[in-house]
């Protein structure tokens, strides 16, 4: 820097040094402020995480499920995985497919299930069995009641009369959700009374113990149908909420005896994308027809596909075919 007239060189040097020092001090103060702000944000974030963790760990207030029963007009049961499930079999319908009279427990079982998500609210999922003429009025009434549709499709083929399956979802006070579902189903002939008394125990017509051994999973007889459920290994979520297997996420295998050791089988395999075609090939290789492939939910993670099937053949032979399909899937080991 040139020396100006009347001002000594040392004065200019001192002035420049002072300015540089002030810049350094300002930068240091700015860094300290930024670090302080980051530390404050980090502390707030940690406090929020601790609060959320405490809220998660705190036991939720008990739900009065009797209010749900009253709203639906039908009693349910608390499942081992924590969901509250209500079955509403369409025993009023007389459906046949491939000359087989379909029992409600084989493929005509409407249901809704609730999972508690807070002290006052639940998540609702369900599957409603409807005649084609019932679809539009039920859908409209559900929409009016704040219940959403997540899928609408067939499960069977060539059945008479034609049956559709409406998958539903909702979130809110459980009694309100139950009342909304009841209002919609009141537009159908769905029975809400107690189920008919079970037939006296006798020969079931197929060897359920051996079928269970072949499948690697054992089930139970319900409504004249041998039912087996096979849950997946993965945790499944919808809108970030864990969904238990009893809310329609376990592979369903149903055997209805048709005489001479034969059985009609149907249900659905719960699959991720890369399992779909290996399972199709396993079923077809064993004489089991695929009748539908679709999703049931909108926000599930991982995204699942549901494959429905049909056959009427020797029960043990079909069990081997179903086992071949299960072997292509990431399912939980029995026991």
pLDDT value of position 203: 77
Please report, in angstroms and rounded to a whole number, the separation of the first and last CA atoms in the chain.
87
Q: Does position 119 have pLDDT exceeding 90, yes or no?
A: yes
| C-alpha separations of 211 from 144, 184, 251 in Å | 45, 38, 16
Q: Does position 50 have pLDDT exceeding 90, yes or no?
A: no
pTM: 0.82
Q: Does position 52 have pLDDT exceeding 60, yes or no?
A: no
Question: Residue 316: what are its φ and ψ, rounded to 5°?
Answer: -70, -40
| Contact (CB, 8 A) for 78 and 116 | no
Tens-digit pLDDT profile for residues 63-109: 999 999 999 999 999 999 999 999 999 999 999 999 999 999 999 99
- The stretch 254-273 carries a mean pLDDT of 98
Say which range, 9-18, 45-54, 218-227, 272-281, has the weakest mean pLDDT.
Answer: 9-18
Res. 4 pLDDT band, cuts 50 70 90: very low
Res. 223 pLDDT band, cuts 50 70 90: very high
Domains and CATH numbers, the chain: 62-195 (3.30.70), 203-335 (3.30.1460)
More confident residue, 304 or 21: 304
Q: What is the mean pLDDT of the chain?
A: 89
pLDDT value of position 11: 42
Q: Does position 32 have pLDDT exceeding 70, yes or no?
A: no
Query: What is the edge-to-edge ordering of all strands in the sheet holding 163-172?
Result: 77-78, 84-89, 109-116, 122-131, 163-172, 148-153
- The stretch 44-51 carries a mean pLDDT of 59
pLDDT value of position 199: 58
E strand or H helix at 283:
helix 276-285
In 3D, which of 114, 135, 116, 117 has the Cα closest to residue 125?
A: 114
% of residues, the chain, pLDDT over 70: 81
Tens-digit pLDDT profile for residues 169-184: 999 999 999 999 999 9
- The stretch 239-247 carries a mean pLDDT of 96
């Amino acid at each position: 820097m040139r020396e100006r007239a009347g001002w000594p060189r040392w004065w200019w040097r001192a002035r420049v040094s002072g300015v540089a020092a002030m810049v350094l001090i300002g930068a240091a103060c700015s860094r300290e402020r930024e670090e302080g702000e980051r530390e404050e944000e980090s502390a707030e974030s940690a406090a929020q995480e601790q609060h959320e963790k405490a809220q998660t760990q705190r036991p939720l207030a008990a739900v009065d499920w009797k209010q749900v029963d009253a709203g639906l007009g039908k009693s349910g049961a608390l499942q081992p995985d924590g969901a509250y499930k209500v079955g509403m079999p369409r025993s009023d319908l007389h459906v046949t497919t491939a000359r087989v009279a379909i029992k409600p427990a084989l493929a005509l079982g409407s249901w809704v299930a609730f999972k508690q998500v807070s002290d006052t609210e639940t998540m609702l999922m369900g599957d409603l069995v409807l005649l084609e003429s019932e679809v539009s009025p039920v859908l409209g009434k559900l929409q009016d009641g704040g219940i959403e549709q997540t899928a609408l499709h067939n499960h069977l083929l060539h059945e008479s009369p034609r049956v559709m399956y409406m998958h539903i979802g909702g979130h809110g006070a459980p009694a309100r959700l139950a009342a909304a579902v009841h209002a919609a189903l009141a537009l159908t002939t769905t029975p809400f009374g107690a189920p008919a008394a079970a037939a006296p125990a006798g020969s079931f017509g197929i060897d359920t113990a051996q079928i269970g051994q072949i499948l690697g999973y054992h089930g139970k007889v319900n409504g004249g149908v041998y039912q087996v459920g096979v849950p997946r290994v993965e945790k499944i979520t919808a809108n970030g909420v864990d969904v238990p297997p009893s809310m329609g996420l376990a592979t369903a295998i149903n055997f209805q005896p048709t005489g001479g050791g034969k059985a009609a089988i149907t249900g659905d395999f719960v699959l991720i994308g890369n399992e779909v075609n290996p399972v199709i090939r396993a079923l077809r290789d064993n004489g089991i027809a695929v009748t539908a492939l679709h999703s049931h939910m909108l926000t599930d993670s991982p995204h699942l596909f549901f494959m429905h099937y049909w056959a009427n053949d020797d029960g043990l032979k079909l069990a081997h075919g179903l086992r071949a399909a299960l072997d292509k899937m990431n399912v939980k080991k029995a026991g």
